[in-house]
């Protein structure tokens, strides 16, 4: 997955918070609570997100309905994986990360590693 720009992230936040797929107009209304964007701008962003495989769309009547391909948590984990894969020194990155986590986050990681079925 490619990284998101600021506007793309705003659109994804709307889709992640939605209980069902949304039309462009619905995304626009949600975003325009905090800013003033044109319909065509949001439509272009959604088209770009579709091309980047962040969203799926299906035609309903004569308008597309959009939904996120992955949850916010899955997308975040994928981004972390890509950053780690791009590193020349994974051990150093992981050690720096491990020093930055809270005690609660450390406990979560320990539990997850104990139940991990196999290596990646």
Helix (H, G, I), strand (E, B) or coil at 104: helix
- Rounded to whole angstroms, the Cα distance separating 108 from 115 reads 11
Tokens of 103: 């005690």
Largest CA distance in the chain: 52
pTM of the predicted model, to two decimals?
A: 0.80
Helix (H, G, I), strand (E, B) or coil at 42: helix
pLDDT tens-digit profile of 36-73?
A: 999 999 999 999 999 999 999 999 999 999 999 999 99
**Is the confidence at residue 33, as pLDDT, over 90?**
yes
Here the contacts of 30-37 (C-beta below 8 Å, separation 24 or greater) are 35/10, 37/7
User: Which pLDDT score is estimated for 119?
Assistant: 54
């Amino acid at each position: 997955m490619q990284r998101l720009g600021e506007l793309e992230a705003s659109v994804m936040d709307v889709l992640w918070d939605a209980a069902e797929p949304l039309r462009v107009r619905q995304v626009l209304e949600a975003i325009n609570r905090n800013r003033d964007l044109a319909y065509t701008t949001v439509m272009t962003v959604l088209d770009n997100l579709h091309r980047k495989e962040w969203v799926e769309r299906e035609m309903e009547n004569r308008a597309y309905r959009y939904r996120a391909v992955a949850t916010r948590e899955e997308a975040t984990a994928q981004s972390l994986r890509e950053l780690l894969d791009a590193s020349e020194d994974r051990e150093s990155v992981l050690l720096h990360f491990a020093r930055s986590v809270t005690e609660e986050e450390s406990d979560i990681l320990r539990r997850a590693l104990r139940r991990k079925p196999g290596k990646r």
